[in-house]
């Protein structure tokens, strides 16, 4: 077993689990609260001022680590203040994330896996397949590290979270939902489910489970095509779950949670962007309480697909609006600090080979 595998990341544990760890180390129970507070502030062991050295030594001797995620690089956009983060995990793996500043607050985009198994034809995250799942603490660690890097005084810098970095969140269900519990915890960062969006390519059995488990978040579906034939051209997951399966699952999610469904639709030149496609999309979405985000495709060198022209995007959106499908075009953020989702990690690996 390597040292890395022996390591136990304290951020992986719930408050109740930390209490048990503390008691097992023969320490008073209240130390768990102190420890939990420090961990959620992004503190390393030597910054935990009110904890006795002997306690910290015991934690270290038992292979516990405090912050398993380190910020390696930050790029700041001169246009809109968007920040791109490169993080290093304890085993040397690299992941990336983004912090976007809006009028109403700051949104962090987090990764849920290193790489991805879904292999969508336009996406950079799946180019090397799935490398590994992130643990709950590694997903939380991204929020904590970026919060620490941006906050002034005691006020929390992060107001919203989107699970839209690398990975398919519903392909890592247990760790992702534990992360949701941790980040939502009242004694933790206490970020409300209303301020969290989970994006999925449509793993339908897990959408039902998410609804049944009571996670009332903004469910975002990477749809990118209105029918199975078109969707199969870019999204292999369509072999397992059809667009009709997705429609049924999100209707169930809406009925259980009352949360409007968001669909992502990246415009791929000559593939999913005709008025015929818009027409099929209108009939697919009929009866659903939903919103469509139209995204000009980001160019990914290794994938070679191109975005639709602005004129055609406009025609497509006009058609949707005329047929009462609410839609917006997603604003491009941080255009000067490198393009597409997933590209940053890859560029970093190339340059540091």
Residues with a catalytic annotation lie at 96, 341
Q: What is the largest CA-CA distance in the chain?
A: 69
Q: Minimum Å distance from CB 193 to ligand SAH?
A: 18
The H-or-E segment that residue 179 falls in is helix 173-184
The secondary structure of 211-235 as a DSSP string is HHTT--SEEEEE---SSHHHHHHH-
Indicate the residue among 12 and 168 with the shorter CB distance to ligand SAH. Answer: 168
Residues 6+ positions from 249 with CB-CB distance below 8 Å: 202, 204, 207, 208, 241
Indicate the residue among 176 and 182 with the shorter CB distance to ligand SAH. Answer: 176
Q: Minimum Å distance from CB 164 to ligand SAH?
A: 4
| Residue 14 near residue 179 (C-beta atoms within 8 A) | no
Indicate the residue among 31 and 259 with the shorter CB distance to ligand SAH. Answer: 259
Indicate the residue among 123 and 204 with the shorter CB distance to ligand SAH. Answer: 123
Secondary structure, 3-state, 236-271: HHHHCCCHHHHHHHHHHHHHHHCCCEEEEEEEECCC
Q: Which spans of this chain sit near ligand SAH (rule: CB under 6 A)? A: 118, 120, 122-123, 164, 168, 199-201, 222, 264, 266, 295, 297-298, 300, 340-341
3-state secondary structure of 169: helix
Q: How far is CA 69 from the centre of its chain?
A: 16
| Residue 225 near residue 235 (C-beta atoms within 8 A) | yes
User: d(Cα 316, Cα 277) in Å, to the nearest integer?
Assistant: 9
Q: Minimum Å distance from CB 45 to ligand SAH?
A: 33
Percentage helix, strand, coil, to 5, in the chain? 40, 20, 40
Closest listed residue to residue 333, CA positions, set 67, 147, 78, 39? 78
Indicate the residue among 35 and 163 with the shorter CB distance to ligand SAH. Answer: 163
CA distances from 349 to 7, 55, 224, 253 (A): 24, 38, 28, 38
Indicate the residue among 115 and 136 with the shorter CB distance to ligand SAH. Answer: 115
Q: Minimum Å distance from CB 307 to ligand SAH?
A: 8
Q: Minimum Å distance from CB 6 to ligand SAH?
A: 31
User: d(Cα 300, Cα 171) in Å, to the nearest integer?
Assistant: 23
Q: Minimum Å distance from CB 128 to ligand SAH?
A: 15
């Amino acid at each position: 077993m390597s040292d890395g595998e022996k390591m136990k990341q304290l951020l992986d544990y719930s408050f109740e689990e930390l209490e048990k760890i503390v008691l097992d180390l023969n320490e008073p129970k209240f130390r768990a609260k102190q420890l939990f507070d420090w961990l959620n502030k992004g503190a390393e062991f030597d910054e935990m001022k009110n904890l006795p050295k002997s306690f910290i030594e015991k934690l270290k001797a038992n292979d516990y680590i405090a912050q398993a995620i380190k910020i390696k690089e930050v790029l700041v956009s001169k246009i809109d203040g968007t920040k791109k983060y490169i993080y290093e995990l304890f085993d040397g793996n690299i992941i990336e994330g983004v912090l976007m500043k809006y009028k109403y607050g700051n949104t962090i985009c987090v990764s849920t896996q290193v790489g991805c198994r879904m292999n969508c034809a336009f996406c950079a995250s799946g180019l090397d397949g799935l490398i590994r799942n992130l643990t709950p603490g590694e997903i939380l660690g991204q929020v904590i590290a970026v919060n620490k890097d941006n906050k002034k005084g005691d006020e929390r810098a992060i107001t919203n979270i989107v699970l839209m970095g690398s990975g398919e969140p519903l392909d890592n269900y247990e760790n992702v939902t534990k992360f949701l519990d941790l980040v939502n915890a009242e004694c933790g960062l206490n970020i409300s489910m209303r301020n969290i969006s989970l994006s999925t390519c449509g793993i339908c059995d897990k959408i039902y489970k998410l609804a049944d488990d009571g996670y009332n978040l903004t469910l975002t579906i990477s749809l990118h095509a209105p029918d199975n034939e078109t969707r199969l051209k870019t999204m292999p997951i369509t072999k397992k779950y059809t667009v009709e399966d997705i429609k049924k699952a999100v209707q169930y999610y809406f009925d259980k949670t009352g949360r409007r469904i968001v669909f992502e639709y990246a415009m791929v030149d000559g593939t999913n962007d005709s008025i015929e496609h818009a027409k099929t999309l209108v009939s697919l979405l009929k009866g659903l309480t939903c919103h469509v985000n139209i995204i000009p495709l980001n160019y990914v060198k290794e994938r070679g697909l191109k975005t639709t022209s602005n004129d055609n995007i406009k025609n497509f959106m006009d058609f949707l609006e005329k047929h009462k499908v609410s839609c917006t075009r997603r604003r491009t953020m941080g255009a000067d600090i490198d393009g597409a989702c997933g590209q940053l990690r890859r560029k970093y690996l190339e340059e540091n080979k």
